[in-house]
Structure 1
Amino acid sequence: MKIVVIGGTGLIGSKLVAWLRERGHEAVPAAPNTGVNTLTGEGLAEALEGAAVVVDVSNSPDFADGPVMEFFRTSTTNLLDHSAKAGVGHYVALSVVGTDRLLESGYFRAKQAQEDLIRESGRDYSIVHATQFFEFVKAIADFSTVDGQVRLSTALIQPISSGDVAAAVGRAAVGEPLNGIREIAGPEEFPLDELVRRGLAAKNDPREVVADEQALYYGAHFGERTLVPGPDAELGGDTFDKWSAGQ
């Protein structure tokens, strides 16, 4: 089966392409560096020709409110249009657990807009909601650093490895369309401040992590369980310690 992976040379996309190829599928990585641009439409028709499934794991290069909304609206609209013309039967997208609970944030408003466009398109689709990746710990710390201190809430997070994300998205891609959302997460919950404290220590990063219940998460207020999935989430196998040991 031909499956086109938008964002197929990135962190998740490259692992997803490998996962699909190992199972005998024709997985095509599509990204600007392979001549496919979802913002302009360049290369989309050619890449999607003969595909049964398209999987969008791309992300905006700019997280500022205006550019991130423009990215997801434009790229999703182009991808929906071109994949419909190509007769692609299953549209799969990777999104984030808690998106609809974090709409104070411009990034999550843009992800919600992406999901709405997919749902309203009338296409068969699957949306995979993942918790934050282990690989994002440093980025969360950087975003939350104020005067040299990393200020984070003690609210819970249930992070997942990128390898487990790729496998879960792959299973969605080769399965029947959900026409709904599947949540995926790692096997362990952590207070957000504790997770980042452990992650920075593993990298010998000397920054102090301070518990601050008023700290925002990418511009949004959030509660104790905003970032964790529901009870029916599919859980990955990699623990944080196992992942860290392999880095």
Structure 2
Amino acid sequence: MSKEQELQIAKLTTYLLPLYKKEFPIIFFWTPRSGCTTLIRWFFFQNGLLQKAMDYNPWVHSYRMEVFEKGNHYKAGIIDQLLTGEKDTYKLVRNPYRRAVSSFLASIDNDKIMKEISPNYHNGLSFKEFLYLVRKMGVSKDRLNSHIAQQYDEGEEVIIKNYVRLENFSTEMKAIENKYRLLDSPILSISNSSHHLSGQMVDKGAFADVKMSLKPYGRTLPTYESFYDNETKDLVRELFKKDFEKYGYNQTIITI
């Protein structure tokens, strides 16, 4: 294990801990607003913990943070396994165009995040204004809330060797299940979540400059594409350049 790898492991376990279990063949890295809830449900299902997690709290992140990650030497176990390199490493990633919109909608519904990025926010915030605030703060995880920050961690490829795109989640996770002889998971039911907004995103038009207020849920929302004009497209491409490049996403096509 090189010094570079040791430093990278320390960095990759600073802000968010990957999904790990001693008996499980994979260590799975993830980022908020990139399908993490679905991934965590899948991981808990594979390890016989999904029902227990749901009984604890239907919001599976509660069980992850308050119980699972509090287990004996959880972080130490991750670091040890990454140092030995005995387990395969994966990361779930998402198209930056869609994730930026998802981050925006999540942010305007979250008082804590809004206070971090726009303390004087009172009369609504447009997607374009949001992107300029992000640009001002910087996109690294040490500068910005992880629900908004770029997915890529500088040098992560030293440790993370495999990637799953959220857009191909069902197909790629089934391939992983077959490769490692894992349980045949109910991907569709695992993927259903009350905080997913895709079903409400039906309004078409020009919404890049439209101010939106807190608590937008319970009504229809613009489609992903409707948040984009040339300026917002350029901003997202600039801000999340490394996500586009490192994960191989097309920078010119928004419709996916």
Instruction: Give the TM-score, by structure 1 length.
Output: 0.32
Higher helix share: 2
Higher strand share: 1
Q: Relative contact order (alpha carbons < 8 A, sep ≥ 6): 1 or 2 greater?
A: 2
